Amino acid sequence: MTLQGRGILITGGSQGFGKAVAEACIDAGADVLVCARGVAELDRTCGELRARAREGQHVASQAADVSDPDSVSLLIAAARERLPRFTGLVNNAGVYGPKGCIEDVAWREWVRAIEINLYGPILLCRAAIPLFRRQGYGKIVNLSGGGATAPLPRLSAYAASKAAVVRSTETIALELADTGIDINALAPGALNTRMLDEVLAAGPDHVGKAFHERALQQRATGGAPLETGAALCVYLLSAASDGITGRLLSALWDPWPSLSSKAAELSKSDIYTLRRIVPRDRGLNWDAS
């Protein structure tokens, strides 16, 4: 019950990874508010989550568009009203956006992906942080992904937005130093969700042969377990991770269960951050004349 007494707002919580996070939070004792754009699916998921909850736990839902400032304001107001103690925000809502070479994709679709994937988390942070500042405590988890750490040809909007989310996370963490608010980015691994279905439906002509083949292999092998990423999310929302902030953590590859013991050392380093690689990092000396 590591989240008992904590209220968590989860965007994109009606399906896929967001739903898995909501389930893990409920199992850990949290009160939960999930949001998504689709009302019917959101209501169905909320009913399933309520059935999962223990007596006394609060589970609620609200339809919202995370890229719209007015919708976000109403969502944060709902979190304050419907969660007994609102302490955590999970910015999970996201899309791949248009698939294809940058000169071929529809510009409006490209911009729309940025609005959802980047503007959405920023808007939610802007709305939640003043409340967290007043109470002297808060936890924010932003969803990253493979697009943040490696190029993703033919998925340029997704790659650009996810890299920006990580750098925004690092920047906001410095703004929030000594406030009791931690903000981190989470990479859950390659998940078999609706986004994988989109890639397969788009086909190799739009996403590229290599990426499409990896997607086929991912579907066949099952992909990364949703539960692993959800467990990392619970950790980052809990008191166990207090003081760990401004990091990009991989659910699959990083030793996050033992990270609390390294919090002091971590705070003085650039481990788990995005940084530029220079020749010296690769054992090369290009400075000599």
Tokens of 195: 């986004």
Other C-beta atoms within 10 Å of 72: how many? 24
- Residue 235, CA atoms < 13 Å, CB-side half-sphere: 21
Cβ within 8 Å of residue 235, ≥6 positions away:
2, 241, 256, 257
SS3 262: helix
Q: Which long-range contacts (CB under 8 A, 24 or more apart) does 253-258 make?
A: 256/232
Closest CA to 98 of 54, 155, 165: 155
Q: Where are the beta strands (DSSP E) in 37-136?
A: 59-63, 86-91
Burial code (b: 16+ CB inside 10 Å, e: under 16) for 123-147 equals bbbebbbeebeeeebbbbbbbbbeb
- Report which secondary-structure segment, H or E, holds 139: strand 138-143
Catalytic residue among 119, 158, 235, 272: 158
CA distances for 111 relative to 122, 158, 167, angstroms: 15, 10, 19
- Give yes or no: 158 in active site: yes
Closest CA to 165 of 207, 126, 114: 114
Residues forming the active site? 158
